[in-house]
Amino acid sequence: MREALLYRQEGGGQVVCALCAHRCRIAEGKAGRCGVRVNRAGRLYSLADDRVVSAQIDPIEKKPLFHFLPGSRSLSIATVGCNFHCLNCQNHAISQWPREHPGEALPGQSLSPRQIVSLAQAQGCASISYTYTEPTVYFELALEVARLARQGGIANLFVTNGYMTAQALEEIHPYLDAANVDLKGFDDRRYRQLCGGSLQPVLDSIRRMRELGVWVEVTTLVIPGHNDSPEELREIARFLNGVGAEVPWHLSAFYPTYRLTDRPRTPVENLHQARRIGRDEGLRYVYVGNVPGDAGEDTYCYRCDTRLIDRWGFHIQQNLLQKGTCPTCEAKIDGVFYRDL
């Protein structure tokens, strides 16, 4: 446990956390919505700071990040806790652990930031991903690891719901190389119903990250009957195009999980239609996810349509890029394709 960053004290022993857009006002002895930040005697503490529940090596394509050091390994870490409560969370066992075990000590092992960076180096990882749950809620740990990782030549990646405040982003961005932001739809009411957060802060974070020079890719899980209307998908595509046509958009297939079991799996044809919408709206790179072997997993040159990176699931079968350039028409493909960090 350590004292939290980014909070202010208020009268009556209350504190207000400024890490994410919930801006929880927390009374003494209580925790914020994420369940891992608590008010003890008028000060805010992070309980998650040294409680790492996951530290495993993933292909970077699993984040998914397709335009950042493709084919590289990423040490992927998490603590329990999340500021969202998504009905379809795939990692609910850890993300919702504090809500489902109130008052219990958090699980996880005590790994120091130096140990985490050393592990990444020893395993030949090009990056550390802060993922599985929401990195914003274990911000102090992520920030310290990220600083050390940067010194050690390791990149830092957030896989995030984008709900952090501008202040949080201001603190972390000097060390943050890339992010995949989950954009769960474009309807604020349904956003709140699905995950307990609102839309606008997520849109703001996507814009802000881009402005701060972080490489950003966006994922939308296409849920039948929830966010899969052509109108809503078009709104998302237009927003992304306004941020930058080069922002890759990953359209992932939903399957029933956790508390969202009354919807069917996403038909592949719906993903293909969504991909067409994204491309029609001018996005250069639109991907289909969770459908291994689909041609929509591959990277194509936005100018001449040469297939540049051939993927099967998270694995790269062929990469024709030459220092980030299309071998056919010499277009510079957007992203970070080799180590020039």
Residues with Cβ within 8 Å of 316's Cβ and at least 6 positions away in sequence, in order, are 61, 70, 71, 309, 310
Residue count of the chain: 341
| Residue 86 annotated as part of some ligand binding site | yes
Output the residue with the shortest Cβ distance to ligand SF4. 32
Candidates 39, 76, 79, 83; binder of ligand SF4 (CB under 6 A) is: 83
Q: Closest Cα to residue 86, out of 226, 203, 208, 200?
A: 226
Type and span of the H or E element at 16:
strand 15-17
Q: Hey, which residues between 24 and 53 contact ligand SF4 (CB under 6 A)? A: 24, 32-34, 37
125 carries a ligand binding annotation: no
Query: If binding is defined by CB under 6 A, does position 86 make contact with ligand SF4?
Result: no
Query: What tokens does 330 get?
Result: 């010499």
CB of 96 to ligand SF4, least distance (A): 13
Stretch that binds ligand SF4, among 19-27, 60-68, 219-227, 304-312 (CB under 6 A): 19-27
In the region spanning residues 136 to 175, those forming contacts with ligand SF4, defined by CB under 6 A, are 136-137
Stretch that binds ligand SF4, among 16-24, 96-104, 184-192, 288-296 (CB under 6 A): 16-24
Among 2, 8, 23, 315, binds ligand SF4 (CB under 6 A): 23
- 117/75 Cα distance (integer angstroms): 9
Angle CA 92–96–100, to nearest 5: 120
Beta-strand runs (E) in 189-330: 215-222, 249-253, 286-289, 299-300, 307-312, 315-319
Q: How many residues bind ligand SF4 (CB under 6 A)?
A: 13
In this chain, which stretch among 21-29, 277-285, 317-325, 329-337 interacts with ligand SF4, using CB under 6 A?
Answer: 21-29
CB of 23 to ligand SF4, least distance (A): 5
| Closest CA relative to residue 172, chosen from 196, 138, 124 | 138
| DSSP code, position 200 | H
Which pair of tokens denotes residue 229?
């209307």
Q: Which residues are annotated as a binding site for [4Fe-4S] cluster?
A: 82, 86, 89
List of residues contacting ligand SF4 (CB under 6 A): 17, 19-20, 22-24, 32-34, 37, 83, 136-137
Q: Which residues are annotated as a binding site?
A: 82, 86, 89
